[in-house]
Structure 1
Amino acid sequence: MDTNITWHTASVSKDERRVKNGHHSFVVWFTGLSASGKSTVANAVARKLFEKNIGNYVLDGDNIRHGLNKDLGFSESDRMENIRRIGEVAKLFVDQGTVVLTAFISPFRVDRKQVRDLLVVDEFIEVFVKCPIEECEKRDPKGLYKKARQGDIKEFTGVDSPYEEPEQAELIVETHKYSIEECAEQIVKYLQERSFI
């Protein structure tokens, strides 16, 4: 980084925003295979938080690649940069007082740890959206697994590129066993029991 760049401290602190908003700001990081239900669960949680007057925003993997990260492909280094950028954006939202719900495959533990390390303790909640790959392939709403199996998509997570399951996720939701509503309720209950909201 250029040494001529200076960080400017905000005139309104995170604590002041917490008091005014009536809730903490933090990141709920949804990780899991493609078609595991990350975006669907994240949006269900967003709706529940909204109904409780809790400011939140969903950062979705596909949506981010339409703008901020449209210059990135799917090589390992591009995936790492994708997550690094999202982590920085999520941190800005947290500093502003917002609950951030991120829905990204984020296949590598090191990248998820890098985002966790950007934030203060208790501002990063990793949610593993667990679903067997066989079930994800059955769902396959975008036809991506089929394309990957045919060789039309290279380095597809779970097919010919690894997915490293979280070893210490704060929460695991199993979308092949429970409904989206039940998974969202599980997350909201977790946040309430730990006084995040």
Structure 2
Amino acid sequence: MVQKNIVWHKSVVTKTDRQILNNHKSCALWFTGFSGSGKSTLANELDVQLHALGMKSYVLDGDNVRHGLNKELGFSPKDRVENIRRVGEVAKLFVDSGQIVMTAFISPYRKDRDQVRKIFDKTEFIEIFIDCPFEICEGRDPKGLYQKARKGEIHDFTGIDSPYEPPIEPELTINTEQYSVREAAKMIIGYLKLQGII
């Protein structure tokens, strides 16, 4: 529902002002892939490397967001859509604050990711497909979720009884079976430098 009588209040200090102060541009790095593909691990390693370079960054992790902002949402298709919509809006605020924000969410539906992309300036949304073979992700099963899904204890689990739609043209594709976490983070750093973000 569209709210009436609400007007966006522009900040006196602009995004550009914050970027100049930070000495780098801001963007959203949207990590997508199966559970167990390494999204959160890679996002946090990248956060460490950016911090070491003096960059302002933050990780929005799927589980962490569901502890607070999205705690009432389940994993039905409708709730997944709303989960990603909210995360996109929060990520946009981080970008407006002049930071590099990393989002580590399965975000299984292509349409939802494309809708989030539309709320950002063209150069400020970077989709990163964590392309790890499904059987490797299930074999890792760091949280025991695949095992529970196979037993029928979890429903609407991506890759088991709910689909995953990989990106068609992501800005970056990283195979976490092929590269170490540190190597993958360095690849993203290199991309950010190439794009003039850092």
Common fold, TM-score beyond 0.5? yes
State the Cα distance separating 1:193 from its structure 2 match.
1.3
SS of the residue 2:123 aligns to:
coil
Give the match for residue 105 of structure 1. 106
The 5 A counterparts of 1:138-157 are: 138-157=139-158
Name the CA distance, whole Å, in 2 between partners of 1:196 and 1:7: 27
Deviations 1:153-187 (A, max 9, x none): 11100111000000010001100111111111111
* Separation in structure 2 between the aligned mates of residue 2 and residue 60 of structure 1, nearest angstrom: 29
Secondary structure at 1:122 match in 2: helix
- Displacement of 1:2 in angstroms is 2.1
> What is the CA-CA distance between 1:144 and the residue it aligns to?
0.5
For residues 8 and 195 of structure 1, what CA distance do their matches in structure 2 show? Answer: 29
For structure 1, the 5+ residue unaligned runs are none
1:88 positional shift: 0.4
1:170 has 2:171 as partner: yes
In the TM superposition, what whole-angstrom CA distance separates every residue of 1:68-113 from its partner, at most 9, and x where no partner exists? 0000000000000000000000001111111100000000011101
Deviation string, structure 1 residues 99-155 (Cα, Å, up to 9, x no partner): 100000000011101111010010000000111110001100111111111111111
The SS at the match of 2:113 is helix
Q: How many residues align?
A: 197
The residue number in structure 2 matching 1:129 is 130
Equivalent residue for 2:11?
10
Whole-Å separation in 1 of the counterparts to 2:111 and 2:194? 28
- What is the alpha-carbon distance in structure 2 between the residues aligned to residue 162 and residue 108 of structure 1? 8
| In 2, Cα distance between equivalents of 1:2 and 1:162 | 33
For residue 70 of structure 2, what is the aligned residue in structure 1?
Answer: 69
Written as runs of structure 1 = structure 2, the 5 A alignment for 1:20-39 is: 20-39=21-40
Q: Give the TM-score, by structure 1 length.
A: 0.99
Coordinate RMSD, CA, aligned: 0.6
**TM-score, with structure 2 as normaliser:** 0.98
After TM superposition, give the deviation of residue 47 of structure 1 in Å.
0.5
| Aligned-partner Cα distance in 2 for 1:141–1:15 | 40
- Separation of aligned partners in 1, 2:78 and 2:167: 20
Aligned twin of 1:50:
51
Gaps of 5+ in 2: none
4+ long deviations beyond 6 Å: none
The one-letter code sitting in structure 2 at the alignment partner of 1:139 is R
1:120 corresponds to 2:143? no
The residue number in structure 2 matching 1:91 is 92
Give the secondary structure class of the aligned counterpart of 2:122. Answer: coil
